[in-house]
Homo-oligomer: A and B are copies of this chain.
């Protein structure tokens, strides 16, 4: 066993979030978030009780100013250790140790290391509110490296092309990256750096989104890692030097793979992996260039992509832990009502895919207080309505979100069902949530369902229902499985597959739309959408997927957003959603039990895809599948589960249940099933 740095649980993540959210620059302009940020507790107290059978020297280090009380349990004096020199020599006996640590710059932290006494999760800590919780830690074992920042991995990268024109260097690193620039060789004067995710951006000195000015006598590298593929460096007065980049990233130990008969889809899958990895850093960022912020709504989509690609539980937990307010809740997450509810809903995904009890218990406590805070937004009819200080977002589209927005109510309903199912497993009292769920479900059906159009109307404002049919509430109703078959069919025909209904334009909402269509069995349709939309970006040379893609635009027009020539993010996490759509709906892998101890596998075939091979991570292992025309092979390592195949397609020697063959898959055994069509 080894000593770890410990802190007030959650505060390391909160400190990182403060650091991370303040790395955003628009050229020379510093841009902090525009929602309320909480700060970590600066004054905390650690406690630990222990017994020594022989004398021990115990090293005590703190990140911050600190004091120590070491009380002999038989004769406690509460006296502070005076003249402390770094090591406590402790005689045999039973003790209660208390260490108070104060730090306003980085999270107050403690490191205790003796022969038998080590700081770790069995220490308790209080923010001096007299409530003691388990200390937080995450493997900082080096006494010389207290938890002051996030620790990235660095790797020098070479440009694929380099052009020197006079005092200017143009570089292309071949693909989107997040890196520092390193200027090699002696120099004076200034270097002016213009970054670009596109070549057009890096050569447009006036309008590119990111710039740096380096005073060469003081530094030879840029201050923070930035997102780019191309870079232009103008050297003032001096001859250009060798410019190289140092990539800053989080190495991923695991990665999924997918190959099929469609080369475009294969490339879409690989570029999706690159896109997600670039945005999976200290937190799950929305995009690495312009925003580089953490949005709960984006992050819960990234969670799902993560579960089907790198399965990086660390970044998922850091993000979930840091986003909510300090208790008591005073605002919504990112001040957005729907994002707060998504955060709650995502806990049920976490439950199945990861399922760490300690994390779930903490998160459920926060979820309860978010739900309590949400209560304060009920209108006289009992529907959620945003206050002026709230953002009712739903989608980045021209939407009138005044009054009671049905999507918000449907997302709330799903959050309620999450509180119920999680609460049950955690032994919480869920009667109130259950009652509220019943009331809300009935109210939504009564007020928002429109039998004539076969859809949920968008909103109810000042007693008037919105007339124009929108896809949003109907997408959520299907995706969250909150409606019955007949109604689902109507939504599918009259809304989702109805060309006359206004299209969804953002990849953010496409995530839910294509998932809903997949839920409705529209595999070919969804795969074709992926090929046209994501394939369209590839055709334009994308090395990572974009915040938004509009097929009608031409050339550099694609890069414009928010009225800025290069405002668009060309590496946006939500662009990686094919990872989820393919993993969950084509390969059809889902956890069957908490913590992925068993799985369900419902692989589908699509004429667009043809035969495919894939390897997908599970919590404790990997599932490999190869789905050919005449044979389906499955190897699961790390969990047993069940394979489901359609009884109407094949003629197989397995028992049939609800129209599906049920094939038990045992951990570690390879199954190859000859496929005899009916």
Q: Write the residues of chain A forming the contact surface with B, with a CB cutoff of 8 angstroms.
A: 18, 22, 26-37, 39, 41-43, 45, 65-67, 77, 80-84, 100, 102, 104-105, 127-131, 327-328, 330-331, 335, 388-390, 563
Contacts and interface: CB of A to CB of B under 8 A. Distances in A.
A42 B66 contact: no
A32 B104 contact: no
A388 B39 contact: no
A491 to B, nearest CB: 35
18 contacts: A18-B104, A22-B43, A27-B82, A28-B83, A30-B65, A32-B100, A36-B41, A36-B43, A37-B41, A37-B43, A37-B128, A104-B105, A105-B105, A129-B330, A129-B335, A327-B330, A328-B328, A328-B330
A397 B82 CA distance: 29
B65 A42 contact: no
A629 B327 CA distance: 64
A327 B77 CA distance: 36
Given A104-B39, A105-B104, A66 B130 contact: no
Given A34-B128, A36-B43, 11 more contacts: A18-B42, A18-B104, A26-B80, A27-B82, A30-B65, A30-B66, A31-B67, A33-B128, A36-B128, A131-B389, A327-B330
Given A389-B129, A389-B130, A81 B29 contact: yes
A32 B37 contact: no
B29 A65 contact: no
Contacts of A128: 33-37, 335
A390 B35 CA distance: 32
Contacts of A66: 30
Nearest to A77: B563
Contacts of A81: 29
A451 to B, nearest CB: 39
A133 to B, nearest CB: 13
Contacts of A65: 22, 30, 32
Among A22, A34, A77, A130, the most chain B Cβ lie within 10 Å of the Cβ of A130
Given A18-B42, A128-B35, A29 B104 contact: no
A292 to B, nearest CB: 15
A25 to B, nearest CB: 9
A82 B208 CA distance: 13
Listed from nearest, the 6 A-B pairs whose CB atoms lie closest are A130-B389, A29-B80, A36-B129, A39-B39, A32-B102, A30-B65
A496 to B, nearest CB: 35
B67 A30 contact: yes
A39 B42 contact: yes
Contacts of A131: 389
Contacts of A22: 43, 65, 102
Nearest to A388: B130
Contacts of A30: 65-67, 102
A244 B39 CA distance: 41
A517 B66 CA distance: 45
A19 to B, nearest CB: 9
A105 B30 CA distance: 17
Nearest to A39: B39
Nearest to A329: B328
A333 to B, nearest CB: 13
A178 to B, nearest CB: 21
Contacts of A389: 129-131
A35 B44 CA distance: 9
A390 B131 CA distance: 10
A29 B129 contact: no
A33 B127 CA distance: 11
A37 B29 contact: no
B129 A331 contact: yes
A35 B102 CA distance: 12
Contacts of A83: 28
A33 B128 CA distance: 8
A470 to B, nearest CB: 26
Nearest to A83: B28
A458 to B, nearest CB: 24
Contacts of A335: 128-130
A175 to B, nearest CB: 29
Contacts of A31: 67, 80, 100
A564 to B, nearest CB: 9
A67 B29 contact: yes
A42 to B, nearest CB: 6
A563 B104 CA distance: 32
Contacts of A105: 104-105
Contacts of A34: 45, 100, 128
Contact of A127 (B18, B28, B36, B43): B36
A33 B43 contact: yes
A318 to B, nearest CB: 20
A326 to B, nearest CB: 9
A129 B326 CA distance: 14
A335 B129 CA distance: 8
Nearest to A563: B77
A128 B334 CA distance: 10
Contacts of A388: 130
Contacts of A331: 129
A537 B272 CA distance: 80
A651 to B, nearest CB: 62
A77 B564 CA distance: 11
A389 B128 CA distance: 9
A295 to B, nearest CB: 15
A177 B36 CA distance: 43
Contacts of A32: 43, 65, 67, 100, 102
Contacts of A27: 82
